[in-house]
Structure 1
Amino acid sequence: MSLVPTLPTIPEPAILTCIASVNEARAMRIAEILSDFRHLQHFIANIRANPSAEEYYEEGYCVLRQCAGEAQALLNQPFDCQGPEPDGNDEEEKAQLQRVMMDASIRRFKIQQTYLKASAALRWVNSRTVILGGSQPQSVHAPALQQITNTMRSELASVTPARVELSLRSQDSIHGKWLVEDPTWSAMEQIIRTGR
Structure 2
Amino acid sequence: MLLANAVLFTVNDARAIRITEIMADFRSLQHYLNQLRTNPTAEEYYLEGYSLLRQCSDEAQTILQTPFAGSSGAPGGDLEAEKAQLQMIIVDAAVRRFQCQRAYLRAHAGLRWMNSRNSILRGQKPHAGHFEALQAADNTLRSELLAISDLHVENTLRNQDAAQGKWLAEDPSLAHIQQNLMRR
Report the TM-score when normalising by structure 1: 0.91
Q: Does 1:14 align with 2:3?
A: yes
Q: Which has the larger radius of gyration?
A: 1
Stretch moving more, 186-195 or 158-167: 186-195
Q: Does 1:24 align with 2:24?
A: no
Q: 1:13 Cα deviation (Å)?
A: 1.8
Stretch moving more, 39-48 or 81-90: 81-90
Equivalent residue, structure 1, for 2:77: 88
* Equivalent residue for 2:65, pick from 73, 76, 96: 76
Paired amino acid for 1:177: K
Structure 1 residues 23-60: Cα deviation after superposition (integer angstroms, max 9, x where no partner) = 00000000110110110010011012111111111110
Alpha-carbon RMSD: 1.1
* Equivalent residue for 2:40, pick from 40, 51, 61: 51
Structure 1 residues 126-176: Cα deviation after superposition (integer angstroms, max 9, x where no partner) = 111111111111111111110010000011111111001101001101111
Q: 1:193 Cα deviation (Å)?
A: 2.8
Moved over 6 A (4+): none
Q: Does 1:156 align with 2:145?
A: yes
Structure 1 residues 40-86: Cα deviation after superposition (integer angstroms, max 9, x where no partner) = 01001101211111111111000001111111100111122316421
Does structure 2 conserve the Cα–Cα contact (< 8 Å) formed by 1:124 and 1:149?
yes
Paired amino acid for 2:18: R
Equivalent residue, structure 1, for 2:169: 180
**Greater helix share, 1 or 2?**
2
Equivalent residue, structure 2, for 1:141: 130
Equivalent residue, structure 2, for 1:36: 25
Does structure 2 conserve the Cα–Cα contact (< 8 Å) formed by 1:84 and 1:92?
no
* Equivalent residue for 1:65, pick from 54, 58, 81: 54
For structure 2, list consecutive stretches of 5 or more residues without a partner in the other structure.
none
- Give, in whole Å, the separation in 1 of the partners of 2:106 and 2:113: 11
- Give, in whole Å, the separation in 2 of the partners of 1:15 and 1:21: 10
For structure 1, list consecutive stretches of 5 or more residues without a partner in the other structure.
1-11
Higher normalized contact order (CA 8 Å, seq sep 6+, divided by chain length): 2
How many residues are paired up?
Answer: 184
Stretch moving more, 70-79 or 183-192: 183-192
Equivalent residue, structure 2, for 1:111: 100
- Give, in whole Å, the separation in 2 of the partners of 1:57 and 1:190: 32
- Give, in whole Å, the separation in 2 of the partners of 1:73 and 1:178: 28
Identity of aligned residues (%): 48
Q: 1:190 Cα deviation (Å)?
A: 2.0
